[in-house]
Amino acid sequence: MSSLVDRAKEFVAGKIAQIPKPEASLTGVSVKSLSRDSALFHSDVSVSNPYSHSLPICEISYTLKSAGRVVASGTMPDPGSLPASVVTKLEVPVKVPYNFLVSLVRDIGRDWDIDYELQVGLTIDLPIVGDFTIPLSTKGEMKLPTLSDIF
């Protein structure tokens, strides 16, 4: 009896593996805006929806790291849906307190360049399959704004 159950599981897993799934890509991180107390960074996620109907996005989670430390992390609940059969760009905003950035730069060096890694999880509600998370990450180097950029 267990071999019948195992074969059924393999059959279902094979069928689910063949279901088309949305694909996504992530751009690098850049500075969007500055204030006296924080910097707002952003990255764009391009997502293709292979279906002829829209798909709800459950959430977008993100973690920005530099020098082995988590700079910022969070979740964007219910960011909307992906329209049918097109590529959609979604913005992932990341707010970082300016004093944390200054402490990072002191640790890293005088050039105000930091190496970063951004990890994003895009969770979509797929028909039949349920919640499906697309893991994305990008690494790079970014020039931080100086105090003269703010004032």
Tell me the pLDDT band of 83, cut-offs 50, 70 and 90. Answer: very high
Of the candidates 122, 118, 40, 48, the residue with the CA atom closest to the CA atom of residue 79: 122
CATH code of the domain made up of 2-149 = 2.60.40.1820
Q: How far apart are CA 24 and CA 41, in angstroms?
A: 20
Q: What is the mean pLDDT of residues 32-39?
A: 82
What is the tens place of the pLDDT at every residue in 94-146? 988 877 767 766 656 656 677 889 999 999 988 777 888 999 999 988 876 66
Domain boundary assignment for the chain: 2-149
